[in-house]
Structure 1
Amino acid sequence: MNLMAVVDASVKKEGLQDLTMQRTVSSVPFAGRYRLIDFPLSNLVNSGVNTVGVFPTYPFASLLDHIGVGKSWDLDRRKNGLFFLPVTQRDGGISSVGAFGALEEHIQFFTKSIQPHAVVINSFIVSQLDFKDMLDQHIQSGADITEAVSGGVSLKTYILSKDLLIDLIRTHRDKKVVSVEDVVNLKKSPYKFNEYEYEGYFAVIDSVQSYFQASLALLDEENRKQLFLADRPIYTKVKDEPPTRYVSGCHVERALVANGSTIMGQVADSIISRAVYIKKSARVEKCIIMQKCVIEENCDLSYVIADKDVYIGEGVVLHGTAEQPIVLRKGEKVTKEDMR
């Protein structure tokens, strides 16, 4: 494959702050058993791309723990494979994909690679992009930079020659541009631009509201069929856990439930991650419950996002709305006394 990849995991989204205080956007859990970065990494592997540089900013411990050396994506190779390239500057890539200041810190990743083209992608858009098809169209168009779009919405994914990318990195200060996205948005001369129309399922995750809506949208079978394709699987870190245990008397409908959980209460229209404990007489409706959360007896939750390791004490009642779901931050403990 004549394509190397830059996964820009340094972009920050202020609207996701409650979920990214201890992790990057790229490592935010999604769809019960995945992280957001699983989708671009899987798309790359399914497209035959095997040289991948991940450029994260702090705090990236959660991301590093998740992707490791890339084994789950078959990127743990002696030649090429996955490169973890942390960005030290904190003002680079705040909201712009492919920030040149950040990429400049690891310029050798580009100069030493043998692939003639590069794809610069983000880690906050969920899709099934085929980069082989996109590269073919880019070459045929004769353009300098091709941007992936869908129905007029930018997917903030760009293909360009590696030599042009290196030149932009080295000269961006003189050219007064800050990122690949910036160059495309300005339609900076003298470059020729092209658009690649993507027709599949996608979701832009840039706020708590969009995260909540995109997550629950996967309860629709048609959306799942478009995102989780048999011939283009979404890979993630393998965790060996037993199947979820459904205790007699529980009631579960229209929910995505990962393995390793124990369900004793009622769950509807919700996404339940690994190793979650929902006790007797608890009611969970239209919620996103992340890994290792505990929901005690007689709780009543609706429109709640509970981050990892959240503890909700007995009898707690939390009702958010679709527009403003309640977010419980990672490791938070909520009891009835806290609600008074």
Structure 2
Amino acid sequence: MKRKLLGVIDATTYHEDLEDLVIHRSLAALPFGGRYRIIDFVLSSMVNSGIRSVAIFPKMQYRSLMDHLGSGKNWDLNRKRDGLFFFPSPIVDSDGKRIGSFENFAANMDFFYRSTQEYAIIANCNAIFNMNFRPILESHLDAKCDITEIRHQDGSSMEMYLVKTSLLIKLIETRHETGYTCMKDVVTALSNEYTICQYEYNGYAVMIDSIDSYFSTSMKLLDAKVWKQLFLKDQPIITKVKDEPPTKYIQGSLVKNAMIANGCHISGTVENSIVARGVKIGKGAVIKNCIIMQKCQIDENCYLDSVILDKDVKVEEGTYLVGTEQNPYVIRKGTKQGALMNS
């Protein structure tokens, strides 16, 4: 690809419906699929498309995001030239729903001025997909577009935009004169001087913007058809490497249609669930239709159905927790849930 792409990921996104899961972390760092974080999908798509310079613009609670990404080594972005960049947003009261906020970008204009990539992909941090951006650039050039908005096959915007880097700089610099605050403003303006194009993406893609969408999308990973659309051999989803031992299944345990990460200790029953690294499930415990995040401990004879346990949750012996597919029971990170607490 002669014309190089710059990757820009807006990680300021915030949705109140996800508060229980993002109160201590950025939405971009929300665990997904037992061993991934949501940002892994857009970042891996960029890297697999040949992008070697990626800027991430987080807002608040970004410690876990930085811990996960580190220097970018796992994505081959720890480079002497280009690589991975973090630019925390100076605007603490932004609503987190304007993807590609020009005010956030303006605080780090030197990065854009120094970038050598001719074009830029501006993307959100909360979409689950696996995309090759090269065909989008080819379509953008062939149609002589100024801005290309990526849309899903149902017509909805994926909140991703391809634009010439020089034009992006101009939009940022003239934001006060034009009134454009973000890329969406430019694309949806009734009249402007730019040629706006749409690119239809036909692959699997879901926006995570609520507990319901997070839970349902996670559960769909247990469907082999969905799994095969997301996890491609020639376009791997890359994540932070953790050296942990294999999961240990104790005699008498039972696992059906589940994703179990490394380092777990399973003595009970796990069915139609996603279990992250280092989880302990006691004898006689039954886990159905659940998302269990890293290092949770579920004691003996518990029953959990349609439950999301955030990291480091302890569920005491004999506890009974039941949610629904539309309204899963959510336990916040690091809390303890006991039998006497249930009603």
Q: TM-score, normalised by structure 1?
A: 0.98
Matched to 1:247, the amino acid is I
Offset of residue 173 of structure 1: 2.0
Counterpart of 2:338 in structure 1 is 335
Q: Could you give the per-residue CA deviations for residues 177-209 of structure 1, whole angstroms, max 9, x where no partner exists?
A: 211122223355121111111111111100000
Instruction: Report if the CA contact (8 A) 2:221-2:227 is conserved.
Output: yes
* Partner SS for 2:180: coil
* Partner SS for 1:15: helix
Q: Are 1:180 and 2:183 an aligned pair?
A: yes
- Partners of 2:263 and 2:90 in 1: CA distance: 37
- Partners of 2:191 and 2:111 in 1: CA distance: 25
Offset of residue 66 of structure 1: 0.3
Note the residue ranges of structure 2 that are not aligned, 5 or more in a row.
none
* Partner SS for 2:160: strand
- 40-49 or 129-138, larger mean C-alpha shift: 129-138
Matched to 1:68, the amino acid is G
Counterpart pick for 2:229 among 214, 226, 229:
226
* Partner SS for 1:234: coil
Counterpart of 2:324 in structure 1 is 321
Counterpart of 2:299 in structure 1 is 296
- Partners of 1:188 and 1:223 in 2: CA distance: 40
The runs of 4+ residues in structure 1 deviating greater than 4 Å are none
Q: Could you give the per-residue CA deviations for residues 224-283 of structure 1, whole angstroms, max 9, x where no partner exists?
A: 001000000000000000111111100100011111111110011100000000000001
Instruction: Report if the CA contact (8 A) 2:321-2:342 is conserved.
Output: no
- Partners of 1:116 and 1:201 in 2: CA distance: 28
* Partner SS for 1:200: coil
Q: Are 1:157 and 2:166 an aligned pair?
A: no
* Partner SS for 2:120: strand
- Partners of 2:215 and 2:109 in 1: CA distance: 37
Instruction: Report if the CA contact (8 A) 2:204-2:229 is conserved.
Output: yes
Counterpart pick for 2:122 among 120, 123, 128:
120
Offset of residue 175 of structure 1: 1.3
Q: Could you give the per-residue CA deviations for residues 34-58 of structure 1, whole angstroms, max 9, x where no partner exists?
A: 0001111100110000010011111
Counterpart of 2:16 in structure 1 is 14
Matched to 2:58, the amino acid is P
Counterpart pick for 1:280 among 283, 308, 324:
283
Offset of residue 338 of structure 1: 1.7
* Partner SS for 2:340: coil
- Partners of 1:185 and 1:326 in 2: CA distance: 38
Taking structure 1 as reference, are residues 291 and 188 closer, same or farther at Cα in structure 2, changes over 3 Å only? farther
Q: Are 1:217 and 2:233 an aligned pair?
A: no
- Partners of 1:2 and 1:109 in 2: CA distance: 16
Offset of residue 93 of structure 1: 5.6
Counterpart of 1:60 in structure 2 is 62
Counterpart of 2:105 in structure 1 is 103
Instruction: Report if the CA contact (8 A) 1:93-1:99 is conserved.
Output: no
- Partners of 1:264 and 1:177 in 2: CA distance: 57
Counterpart of 1:269 in structure 2 is 272
- Partners of 1:338 and 1:161 in 2: CA distance: 56
- Partners of 1:34 and 1:123 in 2: CA distance: 13
- Partners of 1:188 and 1:12 in 2: CA distance: 29
Instruction: Report if the CA contact (8 A) 1:92-1:99 is conserved.
Output: no
Counterpart of 1:208 in structure 2 is 211
Offset of residue 92 of structure 1: 3.2
Note the residue ranges of structure 1 that are not aligned, 5 or more in a row.
none
Offset of residue 332 of structure 1: 1.1
> What is the CA RMSD across the aligned residues, in angstroms?
1.0
Taking structure 1 as reference, are residues 133 and 120 closer, same or farther at Cα in structure 2, changes over 3 Å only? same
Instruction: Report if the CA contact (8 A) 1:117-1:162 is conserved.
Output: yes
Query: After superposition, where does 1:12-51 map in structure 2 within 5 Å?
Result: 12-51=14-53
Q: Could you give the per-residue CA deviations for residues 143-163 of structure 1, whole angstroms, max 9, x where no partner exists?
A: 111011112121111000111
Q: Are 1:259 and 2:276 an aligned pair?
A: no
Query: After superposition, where does 1:86-97 map in structure 2 within 5 Å?
Result: 86-92=88-94, 94-97=96-99
- Partners of 2:244 and 2:143 in 1: CA distance: 48
Q: Could you give the per-residue CA deviations for residues 76-108 of structure 1, whole angstroms, max 9, x where no partner exists?
A: 000111111111211336111101111111111
Instruction: Report if the CA contact (8 A) 1:303-1:322 is conserved.
Output: yes
- Partners of 1:188 and 1:325 in 2: CA distance: 44
Instruction: Report if the CA contact (8 A) 1:9-1:54 is conserved.
Output: yes
Matched to 1:317, the amino acid is Y
- Partners of 1:77 and 1:125 in 2: CA distance: 26
